[in-house]
Amino acid sequence: MFKGSITALITPFKDGTVDERGYQDFVEWQIAEGSHGLVPVGTTGESPTLTHEEHMRVVELCIEAAKGRVPVIAGTGSNSTDEAIQLTAHAKKAGADAALVVLPYYNRPTPEGQYRHFKAIHDAVDIPIVIYNVPSRSAVDMTVDTMARLSKLKNVIGVKDATADLARPLATRLACGDKFCMLSGEDATIVPFLAQGGEGCISVTANVAPRLCAELHNAWQKKDLAEVDRLNRRLFPVSKAMFCETSPGPVKYGASLLGRVSADARLPICEISENSKQQVRGAMVAAGLLN
- Dump pLDDT digits (tens) for 93-145: 999 999 999 999 999 999 999 999 999 999 999 999 999 999 999 999 999 99
Structural contact between residues 239 and 265, judged by C-beta atoms closer than 8 angstroms: no
| Cα angle for residues 218, 44, 268 (degrees, 5° grid) | 160
CA-to-CA distance for 58 and 24, rounded, in angstroms?
Answer: 9
Q: Is residue 84 part of a domain?
A: yes
Question: Would the pLDDT of 148 be above 90?
Answer: yes
Q: Is residue 36 part of a domain?
A: yes
pLDDT attached to residue 128: 98
Of 160, 252, 253, 277, the catalytic one is 160
Question: Is 23 an active-site residue?
Answer: no
CA-to-CA distance for 273 and 103, rounded, in angstroms?
Answer: 30
The CATH number of the domain where 110 resides is what? 3.20.20.70
Query: Which residue segment(s) compose the domain that 109 sits in?
Result: 4-211
CA-to-CA distance for 75 and 84, rounded, in angstroms?
Answer: 10
Of 23, 92, 132, 253, the catalytic one is 132
Percent of the chain predicted with pLDDT > 70: 100
Q: Is residue 52 part of a domain?
A: yes
The total of other beta-carbon atoms located within 10 Å of residue 288's CB is: 10
Average pLDDT rounded to a whole number, residues 27-55: 97
Query: For the chain, what is the mean pLDDT?
Result: 97
For residues 291 and 66, the model is more confident at 66
Q: Is residue 271 part of a domain?
A: no
What is the per-residue pLDDT across 259-289, written as a single tens digit (0 to 9) for each? 999 999 999 999 999 999 999 999 999 999 9
Structurally, how many domains does the chain consist of? 1
Question: Would the pLDDT of 86 be above 90?
Answer: yes
What are the E-state strand segments in 41-185?
Answer: 73-75, 98-102, 129-133, 156-161, 181-184
pLDDT attached to residue 1: 81
CA-to-CA distance for 76 and 238, rounded, in angstroms?
Answer: 28
Average pLDDT rounded to a whole number, residues 133-158: 97
Cβ burial of 114 (10 Å; 0-12, 13-18, 19+) is buried
Q: What is the pTM of this model?
A: 0.96
Query: Which residues are CB-contacts of 198 (< 8 A; sequence separation ≥ 6)?
Result: 161, 169, 182, 183, 184, 190
Q: Which H/E stretch holds residue 21?
A: helix 20-32
Question: Would the pLDDT of 291 be above 90?
Answer: no
Average pLDDT rounded to a whole number, residues 155-181: 97
Q: Is residue 181 part of a domain?
A: yes
CA-to-CA distance for 155 and 44, rounded, in angstroms?
Answer: 24
Average pLDDT rounded to a whole number, residues 190-200: 97
Question: Is 132 an active-site residue?
Answer: yes
What is the per-residue pLDDT across 171-189, written as a single tens digit (0 to 9) for each? 999 999 999 999 999 999 9
Average pLDDT rounded to a whole number, residues 49-54: 96
pLDDT attached to residue 87: 98
What is the per-residue pLDDT across 234-256, written as a single tens digit (0 to 9) for each? 999 999 999 999 999 999 999 99
- Residue 14: band (very low, low, confident or very high) from pLDDT cuts 50, 70, 90: very high
Structural contact between residues 270 and 68, judged by C-beta atoms closer than 8 angstroms: no
pLDDT attached to residue 208: 98
